Amino acid sequence: MIYFDNSATTKPYDEVVNAFVKISTQFFANPSSLHNLGGQVEELIKQARLQIANLLHVKASEIFFTSGGTEGNNLAIKGTALQYSNRGKHIIMSDIEHASVYETGEQLKSLGFKITYLPVDQNGQVNVKDLEAAITEETILVSIMHVNNEIGTIQPIEEIGKILKNYPKILFHVDHVQGFGKVPLDLYEAHIDLCTISAHKFHGLKGNGLLFKREGVRISPLLTGGSQEGKLRSGTENTGGIVTMAKAMRMIEEKRHEKGEELLRIRDYLMEQIGHIPQIQLNTNPTVSAPHILNFSAIGLRGEVIVHALEKEKVYVSTTSACSSKQTKLSRTLLAAGVPENVAEGAVRISLSYENTMDEAKAFIQTLQQVLQTLNMVMRDSK
């Protein structure tokens, strides 16, 4: 099996799974309980929060645990909207945000907020001049993802942060779900106020994530009823998920230092070999993209047909975001980047992890060529 769908989810590390079982069986008490068992669990969560804060080079009091990227993005955006609606109802984001950001913007539009969706260039990047031009006296939030989940484009987060430093009443939220563990981001240096991370994107467990909220920033909670997470996110904490997320974060950072260059070599090899196939158009620009995501289109074929044909060969890739892959619409990201519809419908995404190898990449190229040859023959015979 060749698994090249790591942006959808990653296989949990064995160490993560084993630790989760141990914690869930030995430290099962509610951390809010007054007895000693609850105190032990509370201490585990406290240690995990501190470890994560150290990895992100922020304060432990700025880390809030969530169920993952979708909740983190919703909490950051809706929490800001609820908190500051009396100040203004204008939010800026890009045309190619993840659905959990984009659809949150659409929902807020129905509640009277104005959302400005910034255009992107052919590489999928926003223009910082467009962003600054879009700011009004009503603007309360800018939400821009760090690494695009479909084509891998890295946004100029540091530049945006410098601009927004001149607008102290505007909060800056970054969806860092695809970037963490692959593309470093200094949250303080980039002047980020809110940042979302999800554990299952770096070999942690599904249903776990965090929201960084810079000290002094106020947002309204979406879940109320308890005092957990500083009253920002009520609900009994997922102790096993939280502790193992800290473990996965430590491990992925070690892998980044050990295998970062190899990951880039594999991605570049795939881009070079795929680019030699006449039928293929590359939709990822390697000079502005993360080292683990590659998007291409097979012109004349449909992306989902290629995905299923590769699946029969035990090769696993995807078309667009896993959150949108079962929808019949063409990729909003590719269309926003100017990719024609007939090209966008043949799009396929490869997403790598540090566990992938060059041998897998070479085998993938051979399989892809065979699959395309077979599918093209079927297309010709059907005409």
Distance CA 266, CA 276 (A): 16
Domain boundary among 250, 271, 302: 250
Tokens of 106: 């659409």
What does the pLDDT look like over 52-101, one tens digit per residue? 999 999 999 999 999 999 999 999 999 999 999 999 999 999 999 999 99
CATH number assigned to the domain comprising residue 75 = 3.40.640.10
Region of 305 please: left (phi>0), alpha (psi -120 to 50) or beta. alpha
Tell me which residue range forms the domain holding 63: 14-250
Q: Which helix (H) or strand (E) holds 92?
A: strand 90-94
Torsion of CA 113, 321, 49, 41, to 10 degrees: 110
Q: Give the DSSP per-residue string, 257-299.
A: HHHHHHHHHHHHHHHHHHHTSTTEEE---GGGB-TTEEEEEET
Q: How many domains does the chain have?
A: 2
Tokens of 328: 């019949």
Same-domain check for residues 209 and 306: no
Distance CA 55, CA 245 (A): 12
HSE of 243, CA atoms in CB hemisphere, 13 A: 23
Taking 50 as the pLDDT cut, the residues of the chain under it are: 322, 324-325
Instruction: Report yes or no: 369 and 324 within 8 Å, Cβ to Cβ.
Output: no
Distance CA 313, CA 364 (A): 10
pLDDT value of position 377 = 86
pLDDT value of position 328 = 60
Q: Which of helix, strand or coil describes residue 134?
A: helix
Same-domain check for residues 207 and 267: no
Same-domain check for residues 333 and 189: no
Instruction: Report yes or no: 146 and 179 within 8 Å, Cβ to Cβ.
Output: yes
Catalytic site residue 195?
A: no
Same-domain check for residues 244 and 282: no
N- to C-terminal Cα distance for the chain?
33
Same-domain check for residues 29 and 127: yes
pLDDT value of position 324 = 47
Same-domain check for residues 303 and 207: no
Same-domain check for residues 270 and 364: yes
pLDDT value of position 325 = 46
pLDDT value of position 186 = 98
Same-domain check for residues 233 and 351: no
In the chain, % of residues over pLDDT 90: 89
What does the pLDDT look like over 101-151, one tens digit per residue? 999 999 999 999 999 999 999 999 999 999 999 999 999 999 999 999 999
Helix 303-312, helix 358-382: angle, nearest 10 = 120
pLDDT value of position 68 = 97
Domain boundary among 250, 281, 307: 250
Same-domain check for residues 80 and 228: yes
Distance CA 290, CA 272 (A): 16
pLDDT value of position 250 = 98
Cα–Cα distances (Å) from 305 to 45, 369, 379, in that order, read: 45, 14, 11
Q: Measured in whole angstroms, how far is the alpha carbon of residue 3 from the centre of its chain?
A: 18
Cα–Cα distances (Å) from 221 to 103, 168, 173, in that order, read: 19, 22, 16
Same-domain check for residues 129 and 278: no
According to DSSP, the residues that pair with 92 across neighbouring strands are 116, 142
Distance CA 241, CA 218 (A): 26
pLDDT value of position 320 = 74
Residue type, 268: D
Alpha helices in 64-124 (DSSP H): 69-84, 99-109
Which is catalytic among the residues 323, 335, 336, 363? Answer: 323
Q: Which of helix, strand or coil describes residue 154?
A: strand
Those residues whose C-beta lies under 8 Å from the C-beta of residue 61, and which sit 6 or more positions away, are: 215, 230
| Cα-only R_g, the chain | 21
CATH number assigned to the domain comprising residue 319 = 3.90.1150.10
pLDDT value of position 36 = 86
Same-domain check for residues 62 and 42: yes
Domain boundary among 218, 250, 282: 250
pLDDT value of position 211 = 98
